[in-house]
């Protein structure tokens, strides 16, 4: 699996109040959906504070606080979709490994 570093401009907020920075993402060459995980380096660069209980991210913008949020239903749907995707990928990998390692059955004509 190949891992690439990409520098991408990221903007949070709206036209009246926004904050932009260029962040470095490690991108895995994976033949499915791409996902971004914003971690402590991102929070530090934006001086953002995550609140996992309320699914909110708050940061200081030029015209006040910028709040980015989601809903629990959206988070559940994303988790369920990612679980289904991971299960499908693991199952397809295990199936191909099993088919490569299995020996063909030879019928017993004596019994």
How confident is the model over 1-48, as pLDDT tens digits? 677 788 888 888 889 999 888 888 777 766 555 456 677 777 888 888
Segments making up each domain of the chain, as ranges: 3-100
Higher pLDDT, 105 or 19: 19
CA dist., res. 28 & res. 55, Å (int):
25
What is the overall mean pLDDT for the chain? 79
Is the per-residue pLDDT at 83 higher than 80? Answer: yes
Tokens 């920075």 locate to 21
Q: What's the N-to-C CA distance of the chain in angstroms?
A: 48
Q: Which residues contact 57 (CB under 8 A, 6 or more apart)?
A: 12, 38, 48, 49, 50, 51, 67, 68, 69
């Amino acid at each position: 699996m190949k891992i690439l570093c990409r520098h991408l401009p990221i903007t949070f907020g709206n036209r009246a109040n926004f904050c932009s920075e260029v962040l470095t993402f490690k991108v895995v060459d994976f033949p499915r959906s791409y996902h971004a995980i914003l971690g402590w380096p991102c929070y530090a660069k934006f001086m953002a504070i995550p609140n996992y209980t309320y699914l909110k991210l708050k940061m200081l913008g030029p015209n006040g606080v910028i709040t980015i949020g989601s809903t629990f239903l959206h988070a559940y749907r994303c988790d369920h979709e990612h679980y289904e995707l991971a299960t499908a990928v693991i199952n397809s990998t295990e199936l191909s490994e099993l088919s490569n390692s299995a020996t063909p059955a030879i019928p017993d004509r004596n019994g």
